[in-house]
Each structure stands twice: as structure tokens, then as C-alpha cells.
């Protein structure tokens, strides 16, 4: 059993622009997608996740040319239709139609479809549960911290945490990505929108931690108050515990926070629950 992922990039161009010039689909595989952008178009990515057993002779699960063809004949026309006829449509309500049709075209091999509307905002639907989509967006806040355990000696703390034990602390530009499962259905407006999520993250996480000394200014990580050591693992856990009840209350139980990922740097991140 293997999982195969394929990303397809494309642009939805303004009305009146031709969808693709002759021969464009077989042109150089530029990162700006096919069809390429004309005028003030829209750029999207879809990631197709397939799962199954590989063919014994070819080693393929699926030919990626078949995956591309299915996306271009099924997914892109749906997106183009909505951009043209109902541009205010919530992306989540389209996922069931796209996921079901794509799974049939790929002979039941589709595991999940993820639509990236921007590099930092996406919706995803799994074939195992087409009653909800997973909404993700990334946020950031700047904060300083010091890694120090009161129960250890100064020497032990320096040996364990190195420069991160600097008594004056050090800073990070933290990046935070919640993953929220939201119920969807035909003709049903999602109970939690992107704007709702942005407001909740701002109120519960960004306003609380941005431009703060985590050890000195926050009860969750207070050195004097017995708070948690502000490691990236503990920060992800605290962000989850702060945001989960807010999501549940805002949506009337129609949305659930699945996880929160926090990046301390571009090389170090933690997801809670893991």
C-alpha cells in the first residue's frame, strides 16, 4: 500500500480570455500553472492524494498523466464555473462535488483532495468523510522566550538548552497553522468561515502572545508562576487548548479543531495533537 501525491497548478482567467492557447497544455511546465495567467487571473493549486497497491509490472499506483487529465477535465471546470457564476461561493461547499467526481475518475484510488486557494490557506476533503472539510490557514506572532527548568541547576539548564537558556532570552517569529474540520453539505453554509477562524485565532493566540516575553508576560509559560517551559512543543499544545473551545463555541459544535502546528523556525515545528 502506497500513497501518491500529485499537485496540479492552474489559473482561472477573466471572462472573455481564452482558456488556453493552442499548444499551451504541452508547453514548458512553469510553476505559474497551466493555463497560464492572463490579465488579473486567479492562481490555484490542488493536491491529489491517492492510495492503493502498485501495479506489479509498471510500479505505478496511477499514471500521473491520468491524474492531471482528471483534474483538468473535472476539477478545473467546476472552479471556473463558480468563479464565473457564483464568485462568493464558500470553497468548502464545492469539495464534495469535486472529490466525488475525481474519485470515480481515478477508480476509487483517491484518498483526499486539498485545494490551496493561497500559499497559506487551503480546504481539504477526505473520501472517507465527505461530510466535512478541513480548513487551514497560517498566522504569525513575534515573541521572546527562555528555555529553563526550575528543578534543574543552572549548569544542567545550560547543558540541556545551550543558547536557548540565555538569561535574557531570545526571539522567534512563530508561525501557527490550525486545522479545523467543518461540517458541509448541499445548500448548507459552513458554520465556521475563514473570517471566523481569523478572528478567533487573533483573539485567542495572536493578541495573547504577540510581542510578549512568554516567560514574563503570559500565565501559560510564567517562570515565577509555575507555567510550562515555552518549547515549541508546549506552545503548540497551549495554542490548541486555547483555540479548541473557541472554535467549538463559535460554530455551535459544527466545527472541531483537529490540530495546531507551530513553526519556531522554517526547520523546526511541532503539531499538537501529533
Instruction: Report which secondary-structure segment, H or E, holds 229.
Output: none
- Please identify every residue annotated as catalytic: 164, 211, 264
Which parts of the chain are beta strand (E)? 2-12, 42-52, 110-118, 121-126, 129-137, 139-145, 170-183, 212-213, 255-265, 268-272
Give, as one character, the DSSP assignment of residue 188: B
Largest CA distance in the chain: 71
Distance CA 75, CA 62 (A): 18
Count CB-CB contacts under 10 A for residue 167.
Answer: 8
Antiparallel, parallel or unpaired: β 139-145 and 212-213 = parallel
Amino acid at each position: 500500500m502506497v500513497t501518491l501525491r500529485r499537485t496540479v497548478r492552474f489559473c482561472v482567467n477573466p471572462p472573455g480570455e481564452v482558456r488556453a492557447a493552442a499548444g499551451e497544455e504541452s508547453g514548458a511546465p512553469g510553476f505559474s500553472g497551466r493555463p497560464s495567467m492572463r490579465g488579473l487571473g486567479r492562481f490555484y493549486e490542488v493536491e491529489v492524494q491517492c492510495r492503493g497497491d502498485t501495479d506489479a509490472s509498471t510500479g505505478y499506483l496511477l499514471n500521473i498523466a491520468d491524474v492531471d487529465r482528471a483534474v483538468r477535465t473535472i476539477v478545473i471546470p467546476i472552479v471556473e464555473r463558480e468563479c464565473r457564476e457564483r464568485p462568493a461561493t464558500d470553497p468548502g461547499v464545492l469539495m464534495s462535488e469535486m472529490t466525488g467526481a475525481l474519485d470515480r475518475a481515478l477508480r476509487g484510488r483517491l484518498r483526499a483532495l486539498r485545494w490551496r486557494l493561497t500559499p497559506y490557506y487551503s480546504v481539504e476533503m477526505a473520501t472517507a468523510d465527505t461530510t466535512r472539510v478541513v480548513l487551514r490557514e497560517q498566522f504569525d506572532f513575534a515573541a521572546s522566550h527562555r528555555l529553563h527548568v526550575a528543578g534543574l541547576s543552572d549548569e544542567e539548564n545550560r547543558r540541556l538548552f545551550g543558547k536557548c537558556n540565555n538569561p535574557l532570552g531570545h526571539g522567534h517569529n512563530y508561525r501557527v497553522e490550525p486545522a479545523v474540520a467543518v461540517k458541509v453539505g448541499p445548500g448548507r453554509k459552513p458554520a465556521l468561515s475563514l473570517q471566523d477562524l481569523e478572528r478567533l485565532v487573533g483573539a485567542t493566540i495572536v493578541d495573547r502572545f504577540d510581542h510578549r516575553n512568554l516567560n514574563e508576560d503570559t500565565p501559560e509559560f510564567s517562570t515565577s508562576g509555575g507555567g510550562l517551559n515555552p518549547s515549541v512543543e508546549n506552545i503548540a499544545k497551549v495554542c490548541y487548548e486555547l483555540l479548541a473551545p473557541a472554535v467549538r463555541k463559535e460554530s455551535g459544535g459544527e466545527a472541531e479543531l483537529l490540530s495546531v502546528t507551530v513553526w519556531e523556525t522554517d526547520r523546526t515545528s511541532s503539531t499538537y495533537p501529533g
